[in-house]
Structure 1
């Protein structure tokens, strides 16, 4: 995996929680308006069978099907995002302490190079060299991880 792809995954990882939150809010809205049972007749009286009734019924069925598909899509996305978050975190956590400090500081915490160099006791130039090595190591780990390497969401974000 190229270093630029690893950087894109790290930038994506930083926003996974927000993506999950937004998808969950949408899911809540769709589920609140989704009623698979439809209307229930309480009076037991027969009701009209005009053409307008069947057209309205068809429109309701189509809307219900569309809503159900959206709900399923959102649930699937949330599930995949949570798996990705876990797997990417696992691979970052398995890095050496020095690599972890640089990767987390730069990509997840938004620290400046001067801060990172000071924190690890190296010059900025040397810290940048270590970052290239850390990205290469992390790239190999992510490429071997089946969940990350096969993810449609990751592939979409790398384009």
Structure 2
């Protein structure tokens, strides 16, 4: 009788441990993902000029700690029309602030049709100049939506593409 009780107790302990390990690896394991968003903004410059920004962004995170943002869109204002078509590569690592990542734009690639001057791109589109670290928070809103924001302002809401 004691052997049966010891055997059943051991079996229950093994099942609980295996269930915990399975739950840990399934819930906490990072997985690659892609999310998409559209940004539409009316911008007033310091000089009082008005610009209209329309931008589609696809964020691809294939490796933990790095992402790639594909940006395609337009910027209109002052009788000029610009076309965006760039890939922006970003690294991310844990920061000292709870819930925030320390991100940095490490590289950009321009498509030949992109005619936006770098000064305009950096001032009105990028959260920070390439090579300069900035803080970013990602909040899970529901099953497939995320709020991507900085320390003081939101950047955008991103809808995750389901597998």
TM-score (norm 2): 0.28
TM-score (norm 1): 0.28
Relative contact order (C-alpha < 8 Å, sep 6+): which is higher? Answer: 1
* Higher fraction of helix: 1
